[in-house]
Amino acid sequence: MDDTQKDAIDDGNPVVDASTLRTLLHEVGGDLATDDPLAEIRALEELKNALCARQARLGVQVHQRQRDKDAARGIDRATTARFVGSQIALAQRRSPHLGSRLLGLAHALTEEMPHTYAALAAGVINERDATALVAQTAFLSREDRGSVDAALADDLGHTSHRRLVAEATKHAYAADPQAFVHRRAKAEADRRVTLRPAPDCMAWLTALLPVKDGVACYAALKTAAAAHSDQPRGQVMADTLVQRVTGHAPADGSADIHVDLLIPIDTLTGDTPAHVPDYGPIPADLAREWVNTTNTTNDDTAAEVRTQIRRIFTYPDTGDLIGMDSHARTYPGLLAHLIRLRDHTCRTPWCDAPIKHIDHIQAHATGGETCERNGQGLCARCNQVKEHPDINITGHAGETTTTTGSLTTTSRPPAPPGMPPPTRSHVERTLIDITWHHHITWRPR
C-alpha cells in the first residue's frame, strides 16, 4: 500500500478497492503473533458487524440516487426498488431475491430502528440478529417498531440470538396485540413442509406449523424418546418421526403429551404473553385458548390423544417461579425441571443449545448448595468446558460472571413471563459506555 492510499484512509476517505483493504488488514495483522489473540478475534468480529452496517447505509444511498434518477424518467418506485435490489445482490454475489430483502433491511435499520442500527455499527450484534429483529417487527407501524427498538436497547449485544428474538416477539405483541394476532392467523395459512439437502448424504425435513401443533409434535417425540434412555435422544426422536409419518409404527393413542406453559396471572385477563419452553413467548389469546383445550382426537384411529397443558403460574409481583432446596449432591427431578423451565437453554452467554446437565455454580466440593439459587442449566459441551482451570465462574442463578483470560461475560436467565429484564448495574453501564465510546454516540437506557 502506498503513502497516498494510507493518507486517504487517515483523512476519512476510505479506499473502496477490496485488494487495498485486504492488504491493509494483512499489514495490521502482521505475523499474527499478538499478545492477546482472543481480543483481536473479538475486535475483528465487531469490525465484520460494523461493515454490515456500512453496507446498509450504502444500499440506502444507492437506492436514493437511483430513485431520484428514475423519478425524472417516469419509472415507478417498485421497479426502481427491484432494480436496486438486483444491483446490490450482484455486488454481494447473492441472489436477486435476497438483494431486495437486504435493501428492505437497510431501510428499516437506518430509518426506523436506530438502536438496532447503532448496535450493529458498534459491532456488538451481527447481521443475523439485526435481520431477525426487523422481521419480528415487520407488521408494526413505524412508531410501534421504534418503541420495540427502544425497549430492546439494553439487550443488544448482551444476550443470545434466540433470547433476543424472544424478547422482540414479546415487545412486538405488547405494542400492537391485534396486529400480532392478525399476522398469526395469516401465517397459519402458509404452513408447509420442505426438504433441503444436508452434508454427508443427509436431508433437512422442515415443517412450518402453527405453534400449538409444532410444540405438540415435539413434545410427542420427546415423550417417545424418554422410553429409550439407553439411546441418544435425537436419534430416537428422528427414528420415531420417520416411523410414524411413513406408517411403519403408528403412535400409541393412549399416550399423554405434556406441554409446559408458564403463564402469569395477568395473561388470563389481559395481553401479557405466556411462555412455552423449547419455543418462547406466545400471545395471551393463544395461551387462554390452550388452557381451555383438554384433548384432541385422531379421527383415523378413533384413539384419544390427550395433549395436557401443564400450567405453571408465576408470582404476580415478581414473575418468579417457586424455588426448592435439596440436601442431595445432584439435582433431583422436580428441582432440575424447575431450573430447566427457568433457564430455557444453556446458560453460557450466546449458547442456545438445549440443556443437558443441571450443575452447581459454586461447586458442591467447595461448599456449594444443591438449591435453585446455586443451579444452572448447561449443555453437555459447556458443562465439560467449565471444568477447565482457566475458567472462573462466580455469582448465583440470577447473574453469573465467567472470566476467561481477558474476556469477561455475564449471564442471566430470561425474564419470567410478564416481567421486564433485570436492570443493569452501574458498573456494567460504565463498561458499556467505555467500550462503545469510540464507536458511536449511543447509550443503553
**pLDDT of amino acid 327:** 46
In sequence order, the 6+-apart residues with CB closer than 8 A to the CB of 353 are 345, 346, 379, 381, 382
Evaluate whether 334 touches 316 at the Cβ level (below 8 Å): no
Other beta carbons within 10 Å of 182: 12
What end-to-end distance do the CA atoms of the chain give, in Å? 42
Grade residue 445 by pLDDT with cuts at 50, 70 and 90. Answer: very low
Instruction: Give the three cell numbers for residue 408.
Output: 469477561
Give me the percent of the chain exceeding a pLDDT of 90.
32
Mean pLDDT (the chain) is 78
Pick from 370, 278, 358, 289: nearest CA to 326: 370
Grade residue 236 by pLDDT with cuts at 50, 70 and 90. Answer: very high
**pLDDT of amino acid 393:** 85
**pLDDT of amino acid 300:** 44
pLDDT tens for 380-418 read: 888 888 878 788 888 888 888 888 777 788 888 877 665
| pTM for the full predicted model | 0.66
The residue ranking higher by pLDDT, 123 or 254, is 123
Grade residue 255 by pLDDT with cuts at 50, 70 and 90. Answer: low
pLDDT tens for 86-101 read: 999 999 999 989 999 9
pLDDT beyond 50 at 175:
yes
Instruction: Give the three cell numbers for residue 113.
Output: 430502528
Residue 17 DSSP SS3: coil
241 class by beta-carbon count within 10 Å (0-12 exposed, 13-18 middle, 19+ buried): middle
Alpha-carbon separation of residue 318 from 190, 264, 376, 415, 418 (angstroms): 38, 10, 20, 10, 9
Residue 139 DSSP SS3: coil
The residue ranking higher by pLDDT, 188 or 53, is 53
Grade residue 205 by pLDDT with cuts at 50, 70 and 90. Answer: very high
**CA neighbours within 13 Å on the CB side: how many for 216?**
17
The residue ranking higher by pLDDT, 425 or 360, is 360
Q: Is the dihedral of CA 133, 138, 139, 144 positive or negative?
A: positive
**pLDDT of amino acid 303:** 42
Other beta carbons within 10 Å of 306: 14
The residue ranking higher by pLDDT, 107 or 5, is 107
In sequence order, the 6+-apart residues with CB closer than 8 A to the CB of 311 are 261, 263, 291
**pLDDT of amino acid 141:** 94
State the average pLDDT over residues 106-129: 95
Grade residue 29 by pLDDT with cuts at 50, 70 and 90. Answer: low
pLDDT beyond 50 at 426:
no
Evaluate whether 141 touches 176 at the Cβ level (below 8 Å): yes
